[in-house]
Amino acid sequence: MNEPIISLEKVSKTYPVPDDKDGLKVLKGISLSVEKSQTVAVTGPSGSGKTTLLNMMSGLDLPTEGKITIAGQELTCMFPDDLPLFRNRNLGFVFQSHCLLPQCTVIENVLLPSIVEEREGRDAVLDRARKLLERVGLERKINTFPGKLSGGECQRVAVVRALINQPKIIMADEPTGSLDNATAILLAKLLIELNEELGTTLVVVTHSDLVADLMKLKFKLADGKLNI
């Protein structure tokens, strides 16, 4: 049996609350195993802890209890200074707000994650960026600034930016939340198509049942627990 690319073992998260010794328990003993190249959706009401869960799987936050292993690395045992480079090498991020830099063109936004650590020649990275932008239908917009793009186009740029370093896992936090239903479904299908073509594991946190239903695994987070 292959080692899972994402493994959570009895993960809990409690935030301190003034005058409350028990604190706010957001996540309670969550265990999860995800194989390489899998597509996963996590749904749940606002405030249920979906983003907290994604942040912990990304090493942006640490659990109060439990063990998290991502791409063979136990995040709960890593030095904090090592986590940013680990994320840059292994993870790609897509957020509800595309988070593109308005002063940078499409191609410049896409290339930003690649300047943190130069692991290959710039020509190879630029060639991959152009091919990915062509794949998502934006080959004619590479020198366009985000202010001239539609919301759906901006999110497609964000997807390409997440893929530029050839990550093992894409973490998407409400990636379609600011889009209309038709555009949201198109973007979700694009993520799945790229997952199938590139073999990248995809984890999507979403309010949308339409988007969640497109993923192979679907979980619901409620009352601090993760259920199928």
pLDDT band at residue 164 under the 50/70/90 scheme? very high
**How far apart, in whole angstroms, are the C-alpha atoms of residue 211 and residue 169?**
18
User: Which pLDDT score is estimated for 1?
Assistant: 55
Q: In this predicted model, what pLDDT tens digit does every residue of 7-64 receive, in sequence order?
A: 999 999 999 999 888 899 999 999 999 999 999 999 998 889 999 999 999 999 999 9
Kindly report the average pLDDT of the chain as a whole number.
93
Q: What is the pTM of this model?
A: 0.92
Tell me if 219 sits within 8 A of 41, measured CB to CB: yes
CA distances from 182 to 106, 131, 185 (A): 23, 25, 5
pLDDT, tens digit, 9 for 90 and up, residues 196-210: 999 999 999 999 999
> What dotted CATH number matches 36-61+77-227?
3.40.50.300
Residue 87 has pLDDT above 90, yes or no: yes
